Amino acid sequence: MLNPVLLGTLLVLGATVAGLGLAALLSPKTSGSAAASGPAAEPRATWTSGLARTRGSLAQRLLSSWRESGDAEAWIASAEEVLLSADVGLKATEQLVARWRQGLAGVGSEAEFRRMVISGVRDALASESGPAPGNQGPRVIMVVGVNGVGKTTTIGKLARRRITAGGKVVLVAADTFRAAAIEQLGRWAERTGADLIKHQHGADPSAVTFDGMKAAKARNADLVIVDTAGRLHVKANLMEEVKKMARTAGREIEGAPHEVLLVIDATTGQNALNQAKVFHEALGVDGVVLTKLDGTAKGGVALAIRAELGLPIRYVGLGEGADDLAEFDPEAFAEALFPAGEVEPEASRS
């Protein structure tokens, strides 16, 4: 039999807990609209936060070398070393240095120096045109890239962007070589509200593509995103399979695929450029998605890809959130790389 004192203590504790539970239920903090709205939205990454590491390895070093150099040519020599060490690449470095050499004569303050650097980076990354418009029927995007670069996640984020804007999206799980890829794309379909077309693991990717095109037309989708197998750059048979998938899509929807996007992991630096070369030669890539930009000091690879291959950067990953995939903006990239708060507008060259 329980000790009377212990029993009394338990009864008091029980009443206290019950009272706290009832108070929590009745509290305005939880019974109001805030509770009804569910968890708070994830904070969106910005260009400034996404490029923080690259800014430290590239922009700040350029400014420091300008402050310390005795003349224009001394700074140019230093700038070349900074650019090459930041994975900007030889061709892009030569282009930037040529632009900056012309502009240095009129630079007297750090504010003017900043504007010159920004102008050179922006012009180097500028693209003359966007993706080609689609014809009748849904727009088809084929997404390629090696395993581990964030390809499936990028597809999910692209779907989210379009659905948020009011579109209807079909995701095609044509990476049938990895069962995990099908499952991951399925989770993104559930999360975004996109339709998913899939077959079993090991199925013919072209057959999945065919069904995806049929479904997109039948469901009046306005965007179809096709996932593809990774490791394509080292497996010729898989690269040929993607070409076959493209032909299959084109037979069902005029002009498809309307865009081939290559997903590149920015943290891999020059390896990213090598991957881009192989994919572009084999498939004719239309644009690049640069992921994990927030996790690397090698964001300069965007300049290398643009200069070496002439490929435009279409999207960049600025963070890990579902909304942290931004359309690439050369002006925003350059401004964030060298923000005004990190220079002193009043300072003049000594």
Which range (19-23, 165-169, 250-254) has the least confidence? 19-23
> Which residues share a beta bridge with 316?
290, 326
Rounded-to-integer distance, Cα 253 and Cα 243, Å: 15
- How many of the other CB atoms lie within 10 Å of CB of 81? 12
- How many of the other CB atoms lie within 10 Å of CB of 215? 17
Q: Which residues have a Cβ under 8 Å from the Cβ of 193 and sit 6 or more positions away?
A: 163
Rounded-to-integer distance, Cα 226 and Cα 216, Å: 11
Which range (122-131, 197-206, 237-246, 277-286) has the least confidence? 122-131
Q: Which residues have a Cβ under 8 Å from the Cβ of 259 and sit 6 or more positions away?
A: 131, 132, 139, 140, 141, 142, 286, 287
Q: Which residues have a Cβ under 8 Å from the Cβ of 162 and sit 6 or more positions away?
A: 169, 222, 223
Instruction: Classify the phi-psi angles of 260: left when phi > 0, otherwise alpha if psi is within -120 to 50, otherwise beta.
Output: beta
- pLDDT surpasses 80 at 5: no
Cβ atoms of 230 and 236 within 8 Å: the answer is: no
Residue from 83, 92, 79 nearest 308 by CA: 92
- Structure tokens given for 238: 């898989």
Q: What is the DSSP letter of 180?
A: H
The tokens 């989210």 sit on which residue? 160
Rounded-to-integer distance, Cα 234 and Cα 291, Å: 21
Mean pLDDT of the chain: 82
Q: How do residues 147-179 score in pLDDT, each as one tens digit?
A: 889 999 999 999 999 999 999 999 999 999 888
- Measured in degrees and rounded to the nearest 5, phi and psi for residue 225 equal -120, 125
> Which residues share a beta bridge with 315?
289, 327
- Measured in degrees and rounded to the nearest 5, phi and psi for residue 279 equal -65, -40
* Alpha helices by DSSP H, the chain: 4-26, 28-31, 33-36, 47-50, 52-54, 60-68, 72-85, 90-103, 110-125, 151-164, 179-192, 205-218, 236-252, 270-283, 301-309, 330-337
What is the dihedral sign for C-alpha 240, 241, 242, 248?
Answer: positive
Give the confidence band of 141 by pLDDT, cuts at 50, 70, 90: very high
- The percentage of residues in the chain with a pLDDT greater than 70, rounded to a whole number, is 81
User: The pTM is what?
Assistant: 0.82
Rounded-to-integer distance, Cα 131 and Cα 313, Å: 11
Report the side by side order of strands in the sheet with 223-227: 195-197, 169-173, 223-227, 139-144, 259-265, 287-291, 313-317, 325-327
- pLDDT surpasses 60 at 49: yes
